[in-house]
C-alpha cells in the first residue's frame, strides 16, 4: 500500500519541486488516499464500474486533473456518475482529497501514476466521457513525444470510449491546439463537434473552469475548448 512517506520519496510519484504538504492535508492524505486510490494488475483488465459503491450509470475519466477543480465540480454536478482522475503529482492529489473531504464527495477514484498504465488496464468500451484539460504543451520539438495527446494515447482512448462518447480537450497554447486537432482528425474513430469558431472559443456551461484556464485568461491568453465524439463502429 502506498503511503505519503514512500510516495514522496519516489522518483516516479513525487513532485520534485513541490511544496511540502501542510499537516492537515498530509493527515487527510494518509487517511483517505488508500480509500479512494486505484491499483492496477498488469495481468487483468479492470472494469471501472467495480471501483465504486454507488452503482454509477457511467464512468468518466480525467487525465491530469491538476488540483482537481474541474473534477470535483463535475462529480458534484453528476452524482450518478463514477469519476476516475489520473494525476501523478502528490500536491495535486492532496488538493483533490482536501476538496473531496471538505465537500463530502465520494464518487471519485484516483490513479496517482502515469495515466497510460491505467488506460492500458481498463476494459474496452468502459468509459463514457474523457477529459484532457490544459496539458503541458511541451513546446520544444524534441519534447513532442512527451505530449499526452499522441497517436498512441488517442488510439487507446478510442478503444476505451463507448461509441457516441465525448472526448473534451482544453488548451491555451495555439500551436498545441493545431497539434491536437491534427492528431484527432487523423484518427478515423473520432469526429470534431464544431460548426464554427464559437463552438470552440466559448467554454460550454457544463465544462467547469480549471485554475490553469483562469491563469491563462488573467495573462491575456485565450483558450480553445475542443469536443470530439467517438464514432459508432
Cβ contacts of 120 within 8 Å, gap of 6 or more = 156
Asked if 207 and 131 count as a contact pair (C-beta separation under 8 A), the reply is no
Tell me the pLDDT tens digit for each residue of 159-174.
Answer: 999 999 999 999 999 9
Burial label, 205 (beta-carbon count in 10 A; 0-12, 13-18, 19+): exposed
The SS3 call for residue 22 is coil
Q: Which three-class secondary structure state does DSSP give residue 201?
A: helix
**pTM given for the model:** 0.91
Q: Contact 33/4 with Cβ under 8 angstroms? A: yes
CA distance 184 to 157: 11
Judge contact between 94 and 23, C-beta under 8 A.
no
Of 124, 83, 73, the closest CA to residue 103 belongs to: 73
Higher pLDDT, 12 or 174: 174
Mean pLDDT of the 123-138 span: 96
Q: Which domain holds residue 124?
A: 4-230
Q: What is the CATH number of the domain that holds 38?
A: 3.40.50.150
Positions marked catalytic: 136
How many separate domains does the chain show? 1
Amino acid at each position: 500500500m502506498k503511503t505519503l512517506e514512500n510516495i514522496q520519496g519516489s522518483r516516479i510519484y513525487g513532485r520534485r519541486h513541490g511544496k511540502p504538504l501542510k499537516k492537515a492535508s498530509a493527515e487527510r492524505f494518509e487517511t483517505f488516499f488508500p480509500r479512494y486510490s486505484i491499483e492496477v494488475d498488469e495481468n487483468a483488465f479492470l472494469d471501472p464500474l467495480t471501483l465504486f459503491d454507488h452503482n454509477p450509470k457511467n464512468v468518466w475519466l480525467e487525465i491530469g486533473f491538476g488540483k482537481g477543480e474541474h473534477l470535483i465540480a463535475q462529480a458534484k454536478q453528476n452524482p450518478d456518475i463514477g469519476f476516475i482522475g489520473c494525476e501523478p503529482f502528490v500536491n495535486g492529489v492532496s488538493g483533490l482529497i482536501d476538496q473531496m473531504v471538505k465537500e463530502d464527495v465520494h464518487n471519485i477514484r484516483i490513479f496517482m501514476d502515469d495515466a497510460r498504465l491505467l488506460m492500458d488496464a481498463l476494459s474496452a468500451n468502459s468509459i463514457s466521457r474523457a477529459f484532457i484539460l490544459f496539458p503541458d504543451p511541451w513546446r520544444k520539438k524534441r519534447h513532442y513525444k512527451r505530449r499526452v495527446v499522441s497517436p498512441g494515447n488517442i488510439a487507446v482512448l478510442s478503444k476505451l470510449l463507448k461509441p457516441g462518447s465525448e472526448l473534451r480537450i482544453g488548451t491555451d497554447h495555439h500551436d498545441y491546439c493545431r497539434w491536437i486537432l491534427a492528431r484527432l482528425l487523423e484518427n478515423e474513430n473520432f469526429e470534431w463537434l464544431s460548426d464554427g469558431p464559437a463552438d470552440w472559443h466559448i467554454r460550454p456551461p457544463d465544462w467547469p473552469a480549471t485554475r490553469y484556464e483562469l491563469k491563462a485568461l488573467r495573462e491575456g491568453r485565450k483558450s480553445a475548448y475542443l469536443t470530439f465524439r467517438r464514432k459508432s463502429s
